[in-house]
Amino acid sequence: MLEGRVGKLPHDTLYIYGADALYERIDTVVAHDGEFCYTAKVDTVTPLWVLFPNKHREMVFADKGLSATLYGDTASAGHIHIEGGEQNALLRSFYNRIDSLDAHEVVAVADSFIRANPYSEVSIYLLREYFVQVPKPDNTKIKTLIGSMSGNLQDNNYIRQLQHTLNAYKPLTKNSVVANYNVIDASGKNVSTADYKDTYLLVTFWASWDEESRARQRELIALKEKYAKHNFDILSISLDTERAAWMKAIEEDSLTWRQANDFDGWSTSLVQRMQVVQLPSNMLLNPQRRVQAINLYGDDLDEKIGELTEEKKPEKTIKKTPATIRKQKLK
């Protein structure tokens, strides 16, 4: 059971949902004067996200028979605290250690924490937050940190899937064929290879939390307009794990082409299929789904699309009249 006493909520509704496939549900919780009570039906240690109305979210570890308390002030960053359970205590100790550190120092502390706590579920969370779901993951570092974990942690479904992805990594190159795919767009509709069978398609990868990839998305607005009457289109795949943040970025940046996301971050199906290892990334495919270019931007991308989609002008023909026929015979 999770109890909460949280001040300065913008309104009284918050959401609690699983941080991995172990707890595949989203629950709406109503707080009264900042107080709420929630019971998670779990049989083992399970990471949960508590999402507050101001978009701040807090990690909580639930467990069978465990009672925990969340308290603090959502208006102040870093002023939410959790008490109850060994895993929550370990996570709080980590937060205390990184208080006032810069980003580089935080990553170093996360590294040492994972190595020092090979049996803790917190180590999986820190691996995902600071080493996997980042713009340019270091695969060698990730493998090393997984290797430092206990057998029980390595049997975790998320870690097993991550290891499979790392072991199967083989980057696509020019003329590689991208296999059939199906993804879901922002309106909940299915997007498949059949939708682009006669089209040169730019598949782009981005996330609302990565400003460089967002900037690259905004650059595509003019490109989409320029080639609107050509056999060219764009499909953007987000690595966001929060729908609200993703949809907000789409609206703020005025992205009008199809946007897709399965909310699995770096485990997203097309991210793995196309072996994307950094943000931003893109691949330009021809109608046969063969890779024509990888990670082209700006004028280089514009020039390549123009080269591929340029419509061949029909050869000029001379209308034959009796007079031209006689002239041809005289020759």
Q: How many alpha carbons lie under 13 Å from residue 29 in its C-beta half-sphere?
A: 28
* Distance from C-alpha of 239 to C-alpha of 263, rounded to nearest angstrom: 7
291-294 and 281-285 strand pairing: antiparallel
φ, ψ (nearest 5 deg) of residue 217 = -65, -45
Q: How confident is the model at residue 295, as a pLDDT?
A: 94
Residue among 91, 110, 16 at smallest CA distance from 80? 91
Contact 53, 65 (CB under 8 A): no
* Distance from C-alpha of 31 to C-alpha of 23, rounded to nearest angstrom: 22
Residue among 138, 150, 219, 235 at smallest CA distance from 185? 235
Question: In DSSP terms, which residues pair with 5 in a beta bridge?
Answer: 35, 71
- Residue 129: CB atoms within 10 A of its CB come to 16
Q: How confident is the model at residue 107, as a pLDDT?
A: 95
Residue-wise pLDDT tens digits, 12-35: 788 888 877 667 677 888 888 878
2-7 and 190-192 strand pairing: unpaired
- Is the peptide bond between 118 and the residue preceding it cis, with omega within 30 degrees of 0? no
Low-confidence stretches of the chain (pLDDT < 70) are: 8-10, 21-22, 24, 74-79, 169, 311-331
- In the three-class reduction of DSSP (H, G, I as helix; E, B as strand; rest coil), residue 35 is classed as strand
- Residue 26: CB atoms within 10 A of its CB come to 12
> Yes or no: is domain 1-83 CATH 2.60.40.1110?
yes
Q: How confident is the model at residue 230, as a pLDDT?
A: 92
Tokens representing residue 156 in the block: 């975790």
Q: How confident is the model at residue 196, as a pLDDT?
A: 93
Contact 306, 226 (CB under 8 A): no
Q: How confident is the model at residue 27, as a pLDDT?
A: 84
**Does the CA dihedral 122-136-265-72 come out positive or negative?**
positive
Residue-wise pLDDT tens digits, 219-255: 999 999 999 999 999 999 999 988 888 999 999 999 9
* Distance from C-alpha of 279 to C-alpha of 214, rounded to nearest angstrom: 10
Tokens representing residue 258 in the block: 């199809």
N- to C-terminal Cα separation, the chain:
98
Residue among 79, 59, 78, 82 at smallest CA distance from 69? 82
Which superfamily does 182-309 belong to?
A: Glutaredoxin (3.40.30.10)
Give the neighbor-by-neighbor strand order of the sheet with 200-206. 258-260, 232-238, 200-206, 281-285, 291-294
Q: Cα dist. 5→19, 76, 293 in Å?
A: 22, 14, 53
Flag whether the pTM goes above 0.75. Answer: no
Q: What is the largest CA-CA distance in the chain?
A: 103
Question: In DSSP terms, which residues pair with 294 in a beta bridge?
Answer: 283
